[in-house]
Amino acid sequence: QKEVEQNSGPLSVPEGAIASLNCTYSDRGSQSFFWYRQYSGKSPELIMFIYSNGDKEDGRFTAQLNKASQYVSLLIRDSQPSDSATYLCAVKGTGGFKTIFGAGTRLFVKA
């Protein structure tokens, strides 16, 4: 079982729709959860982080965390073509110094 699992996609949504990106993780004791966006040929950039169960909103982005289900998601409202990128889920566990990244989900927003 992969430590951090994401659907590779591509996920295709029309402009203006809600894009829903999902991530599951295996370390039940994980405490910190991050979403990064990576445009083609560019480095990952932090979009959101969440530490507590529930929802966290920042502009058009909402991160949702359910530790009991070991599930974290990212919702993008009013999706724009500029949101087209690969979204990386990252999880930091309780032991060691590692942050584990998922392979990423490619998102296409069609104009």
> Which residues in this chain contact other proteins in the complex, by CB under 8 A?
4, 8, 31-32, 34, 36, 42-46, 49, 51, 88, 90, 92, 94-104
Closest distance to other proteins from the beta carbon of 3 (Å):
9
Closest distance to other proteins from the beta carbon of 16 (Å):
29
Instruction: Name which of 8 and 12 has its Cβ closer to other proteins.
Output: 8
Instruction: Name which of 17 and 100 has its Cβ closer to other proteins.
Output: 100
By the 8 A CB rule, do 109 and 10 touch?
no
Closest distance to other proteins from the beta carbon of 26 (Å):
13
Of the candidates 1, 16, 9, 2, the residue with the CA atom closest to the CA atom of residue 111 = 16
| Token output for 60 | 């058009």
What is the bridge-based pairing of β-strands 99-101 and 105-110?
A: unpaired
The CA angle 69-72-78, to the nearest 5 degrees, is 135
